[in-house]
Amino acid sequence: MASIKQPQPPDSIFADAIKRLDNAAKHVDLDHEVVERLKHPKAVIQVSIPVRMDDGSLKVFSGYRVRHDNSRGPTKGGIRYHPDVSLDEVKALALWMTCKCAVVGVPFGGAKGGIVVNPKELSPMELERLSRGFIGLIADFIGPDKDIPAPDVYTNAMIMGWMMNEYSKIRREHCPAVITGKPLSLGGSLGREGATGRGAYYCIKELEKRRDWKPEQVRVAVQGFGNAGQSIAALLHRDGYRIVAISDSRGGVYRSDGFDVPSLIKIKNETRYLKAVYCECSVCEAVKAEIITNEQLLELDVDLLIPAALENQITAQNVSQIKARVIVEVANGPVTSEADAILSQQETLVVPDILANAGGVTVSYFEWVQNRQGYYWSVEKVHERLHKIMSREFNTIFKIMQQKQIDMRTAAYAHAMTRLGSAVAAHGTQSFFSNHNR
C-alpha cells in the first residue's frame, strides 16, 4: 500500500520556514527586529507521557508544545498525533500559525503541539489516557488567555473534548475557551468542522472569478481525504468541478470523468477505505478507476492540485513533474522553498497555506469568542463571516502580488509581517529607543 511520504529537504522544516520570512522581508518596510523576533519561538515545552495500556503494560510517549509569538494576542494552534512528529516540525508549524493568524487578522499568535504516536494502533481508552495525560503535563503552559489548542492531523472533536474536560478538572472550573474544535454539546461552534476546507473553497471561488473558470471544465486532484480534503472536495463537486483524483494514506484513485464525491466520502467514513464507487441511498456500486500512488496524484495533468495531507510533498526532487497550473495548499507546508522557486519560474500559481487553510483558525477564533460570550451563532452567520474574511484577505494578497510582481506566498508573508510589524513596533524597537535616548 502506498503512503503519503515525508521526503526530507536539505534543511530542517523550521529552517525552510525561516527562509520564507527572510524572502518576504525584502518586500516590506520593517524594522529588522521584527524578523529577528519571528525566528525564535517564545516558549517550548517537551514532555514524556506515561500511559497504562489495555494489556497492563506501560508505554511512554513524547509530546511537544510550542508557543511561537504572542505579539498580537494569545497563541493558537492545533495538536497532531503522528509517528513522525518532531520538535523541528512543531516549531515550523507554530511559526506558520503566527503568520496565518496575521494574514486573516484574528488577534492570536501562533502555537502548535504534537505527540509522537500512531493513533491507529491505540484503543479508544488508550487514546483518552494519552490525551488527558498530555494536558495534565502542559496545563500550566496553556489557557484561554495564554495558549489555545485545537485539532490537527489525527485528532478530532472528541479528543478536544477530553482535553478541555481534563484542563477544567485541573482548574476546578468549566473552561470551554481553553480548547477549540470541540463537540457542539461541549461548547463547539457550528461550522467548525470542515472550516479549513471551506476557507480554501472561498479562495478558489475568488480565483474562479479572476480566471473566468467554468467549473465543469476544471479538473481537480486532491491529495489527502481527511476532514479538510473531504470538505473542499465536496464543496467543489457541488459547484460542478470535476474531481478526477483523490488519495488517502494508502494510495489513490483516478478517473478522467471524475467521481461522485459524496459517494467516496460515505464509503471512506464507513469503512476507512477509499474506494471508487457510486452510491444511491444505501446501495453502492464500484466504478472503473485507475489505482494510483500519492506521488502519481501530484504529477497528474490537472488544472487544480490540492495537497491536503502532510508537509514536504512537492520538493526539488519531484517539482519538475508537477503539471497543475494552480496549487491550493490545504495542508501545512506541502511545498518546500526550493520547489517554490521552480514553480514560480514555471508560472504556476500557488495559493499558500497561510492563506488557503486559514479557515480553520478563523472559525476557531469564532468558537473562542462564542465561548467567552456564552452566546452561540448560527451556521449561516459563521459561514458568512468566514466568507467575508477569506475573500477580503485573498484579494488583498492578490493585489500585493500584482503590485510588487512577486509570487503569492511571498505576498502573503509580506501582508502578515506588516501586521506583525505594527504590533512589535507598538512596544518599541531600536529606532524608537535610540532616538529617545539622545
> What is the structure's pLDDT at 6?
46
- pLDDT for 180 equals 97
- In words, the CATH class of domain 195-351 is alpha beta
| pLDDT tens readout for residues 293-342 | 999 999 999 999 999 988 889 999 999 999 999 999 999 889 998 999 99
Residue 82 has pLDDT above 50, yes or no: yes
Report pLDDT for 426.
81
pLDDT value at position 1?
36
pLDDT at 363: 97
pLDDT at 437: 57
Sign of CA pseudo-dihedral 294, 262, 206, 330: negative
Burial class (CB in 10 A: 0-12, 13-18, 19+), 275: middle
Q: Which 8-state DSSP code applies to residue 173?
A: S
Average pLDDT, the chain: 92
pLDDT interval class at 35 (50, 70, 90): confident
- Whether 81 and 114 have beta carbons less than 8 Å apart is answered as yes
C-beta of residue 16 within 8 angstroms of C-beta of residue 96: no
Q: Which of 256, 274, 252 is nearest to 265 (CA)?
A: 274
**What SS3 state is found at 196?**
helix
Mean pLDDT of 57-85: 97
pLDDT of res. 427: 78
Who's near 211: CB < 8 A, 6+ residues apart?
Answer: none
d(CA 353, CA 328): 8
Catalytic residue set: 112
d(CA 328, CA 160): 27
What is the Cα Rg of the chain in Å?
21
Q: Is the pLDDT higher at 415 or at 279? A: 415
| Rounded-to-integer distance, Cα 349 and Cα 340, Å | 10
- What is d(CA 215, CA 12) in angstroms, rounded to the nearest whole number? 38
Please return the burial class of 379, using the count of CB atoms within 10 Å of its CB with bins 0-12, 13-18 and 19+: exposed
Taking only the tens place, the pLDDT of each residue in 192-232 is: 989 999 999 999 999 999 999 999 999 999 999 988 999 99
CB 153 within 8 A of CB 310: yes
Q: Tell me how far apart the alpha carbons of residues 330 and 199 are, in angstroms, rounded to a whole number.
A: 9
| Residues of the chain by 3-state class (helix, strand, coil), percent to 5 | 45, 20, 35
CA distance 397 to 409: 9
Task: Give the pLDDT score at 383.
Answer: 97
Quickly count: other Cβ atoms within 10 Å of residue 266's Cβ.
Answer: 15
The pLDDT score that the predictor gives to residue 9 is 43
218 near 241, Cβ under 8 Å? Answer: yes
Q: What is the pLDDT of residue 135?
A: 98
Q: What residues does each domain of the chain span?
A: 42-178, 195-351
Give the residue-averaged pLDDT of 53-74: 97
pTM: 0.90
Partners of 277 in the β-ladder: 286
pLDDT computed for residue 5 by the predictor: 47
Whether 195-351 and 42-178 are alike in CATH topology: the answer is yes
Whether pLDDT at 366 is above 80: yes
Q: Where are the alpha helices (DSSP H) in 334-429?
A: 337-345, 353-356, 359-373, 379-404, 408-425
Q: Between the CA atoms of 273, 269, 83 and 352, what dihedral angle is there, to the nearest 10 degrees?
A: 100
Question: If phi over 0 gives left and psi between -120 and 50 gives alpha, with beta otherwise, what is residue 105?
Answer: left
End-to-end CA distance of the chain: 68
pLDDT of 10 higher than 80: no
**What is the spatial distance between Cα 190 and Cα 83, in angstroms, rounded to a whole number?**
31
Cβ-proximal residues to 277 (8 Å cutoff; 6+ apart), any chain: 260, 263, 264, 267, 284, 285, 286, 287
The pLDDT assigned to 281 comes to: 67
Helix axis angle for 13-25 and 337-345, nearest 10°, is 50
More confident residue, 40 or 425: 40
What does the pLDDT look like over 150-159, one tens digit per residue? 999 899 999 9
pLDDT band at 11 (very low <50, low <70, confident <90, very high): low
Q: Please give the CATH superfamily to which domain 42-178 belongs.
A: Leucine Dehydrogenase, chain A, domain 1 (3.40.50.10860)
pLDDT of residue 438: 56
For the stretch 248-301, pLDDT in tens is: 888 899 999 999 999 999 888 888 888 887 777 666 677 788 898 999 999 999
What's phi and psi for 124, nearest 5 deg?
A: -55, -40
